[in-house]
Amino acid sequence: MDMNLFFRLSFIALWALFAVVRGYYGRKTKTHSTIAGAMEKLKTAIAEEDMGTGFKIITAITTAIGAAGLVLYLLSPPWWTWTSIPLGEWIQWSGIVIALVPIFFIIWVHRHLDKQWSIALELREDHKLITTGPYRYVRHPMYLGIFIYNIGLMMISLDVLVILFFAFTIWVNYRRIPREEQMLIQKFGDEYLEYIKRSGRLLPQFRRDKV
């Protein structure tokens, strides 16, 4: 099999696997149990973004270019080669591993977050502060898993426009974290502030206790 075809198929398979995982846990939240429900939540998530006019324009342009680049990468027409980055197959093989491992990590995150997960930034009436499993070490393991997964896809593709698309996606999602933390501080107050002291935002805190 042509290796370029193999890596594109791997890209599609990993993307599909991620979609299946999100779809399964989305149905468990009930608000994501239908395509219409998921789309409504997605619209809410987009509406929540604090976007100025300039940022909206940049988002629209980047999304359009990235989406077009993604389609061209997957179709791989013979006349479309200038966006390819010739860095070696070992990077693409590494990308497969880097994209696959976070999917299992995300499953772990979903199992602890359970029905409290939502595409939009929202809290349920009976919302609880989760500090078990991956949440014991980091406050936003879901974002961490998705970011690493996206980096893996970028490495598999080695395509300028695909990298642009996923890098922009990572940045947009990273911008949500401070607002999400502020929302949780308002909900849980001192309990969340104490949680901040003993956990990392995206990476565990590596520090020794003073004797």
Domains of the chain with CATH codes: 3-197 (1.20.120.1630)
pLDDT of residue 211: 37
CA distance 125 to 188: 12
Cβ density class 58-87: b for 16+ within 10 Å, e for less: eeeebeeebeebbebbeeeeeeeeebeeee
CA distance 110 to 122: 16
Q: What percent of the chain has pLDDT over 70?
A: 86
More confident residue, 126 or 189: 189
More confident residue, 48 or 68: 68
Residue 138 bridge partners (DSSP): 200
169, pLDDT greater than 60: yes
pLDDT of residue 58: 83
Contact 161, 83 (CB under 8 A): yes
**With a threshold of 0.75, does the pTM exceed it?**
yes
CA atoms within a 13 Å half-sphere pointing along the CA-CB vector of 26: 19
Torsion of CA 170, 172, 175, 179, to 10 degrees: -120
Contact 84, 158 (CB under 8 A): yes
pLDDT of residue 52: 67
113, pLDDT greater than 70: yes
Non-local CB neighbours of 102 within 8 Å, separated by 6+ positions: 144, 145, 146, 148, 149, 152
